Amino acid sequence: MLYSVKGELIHMEPNVAVICCGGVGFRCRITVNTARKLPHIGEEAMLYTMMDVREDAIELFGFADRRELECYKQLTAITGVGPKAALAVLSELSPEKVALAVAAGDYKAFTRAPGVGPKLAQRIVLELKDKVAALATSDAAAGFEVGNTTVSIGNAAEAVKALAVLGFSQSEAAAAVGKLDETLPVEELVRQALKALAKG
């Protein structure tokens, strides 16, 4: 399994980047958001990768950062969401916006991606919430306790679950959210926690 590719960016086209590593050009399917972060042709670039092996094709998918890769993995684990749909979602929404939409139950945000209808969008929200529901139920009555920080169940727990979609650990997310005003809306808690985690 290829973890990443790093080398000269030799070709770009819509949703595709080719990076030359040791004389071999790796063709990666990419999102619009990743394309925006890539350098100019001829400059060095690095992408985190995920390989999709099917009977009729082997494709390499590239992502500008690990958050986008993690979000892609979460999306493609959902029944009905293939690589093409996951790339479409991540071209419309950054991983942070995916987390916010899941936290808010905003399935309509996902319908902006080509090929994602209301039913599939609802399934994405439901299953991503389910994947991280264990974070809220493991210590449901007591809340999350990290060191001297306790995050109670409610908006704060929803924010912690949303951050988990982005790949943050329970302790990282709970510590960041625990420092905030728990009466704030979930979306605002996630925004402020992301800022704090970025600085840390």
Per-residue model confidence as pLDDT tens digits over 46-103: 999 999 998 888 999 999 999 899 999 999 999 999 999 999 999 999 887 887 788 7
Q: Are strands 58-63 and 24-29 parallel, antiparallel or unpaired?
A: parallel
d(CA 85, CA 88): 5
Q: What is the DSSP string of 61-76?
A: EEESSHHHHHHHHHHH
In the structure encoding, which two tokens stand for residue 160, read together? 């912690």
pLDDT tens per residue, range 155-189 = 887 888 888 878 888 778 878 888 888 788 888 88
Instruction: Give the pLDDT band of residue 131 (cuts 50, 70, 90).
Output: low
